[in-house]
Amino acid sequence: MYPLKFRPILKERLWGGEKLGSVLGKSIESDSTGESWELSAVAGDVSVIENGPLRGTSLQTLINTEKEALLGKSVYSRFGTEFPILIKFIDAKKDLSIQLHPNDELAKKRHNSFGKTEMWYVMDADTNAELIVGFNKNVSQEEYAQSLENDTLLNLLNYEKVKEGDTFFINTGKIHAIGAGVLLAEIQQTSDITYRVFDFNRRDKNGNLRELHTDQALDAIDYEQKDDFKVAYPQMENVVNPMVDCPYFKTNFFELTENIEQDISERDSFIIYICVDGAVEIVNENGAATIQKGETVLVPGSSKRIDLKSTGAKILEVTI
Annotated binding residues for Zn(2+): 101, 118, 176
How is the beta sheet containing 167-170 ordered, strand by strand?
A: 9-17, 33-39, 85-92, 182-189, 118-125, 167-170
Q: Are 311 and 26 in contact (CB under 8 A)?
A: no
CA 302, CA 3: separation in Å to the nearest integer?
Answer: 11
Task: Name the catalytic one among 196, 203, 267, 305.
Answer: 196
CA 216, CA 194: separation in Å to the nearest integer?
Answer: 10
Distances (CA, A) of 56 to 22, 49, 51, 298: 26, 5, 8, 15
First to last CA, the chain: 19
Active-site annotation holds for 305: no
Question: Catalytic residue positions?
Answer: 196
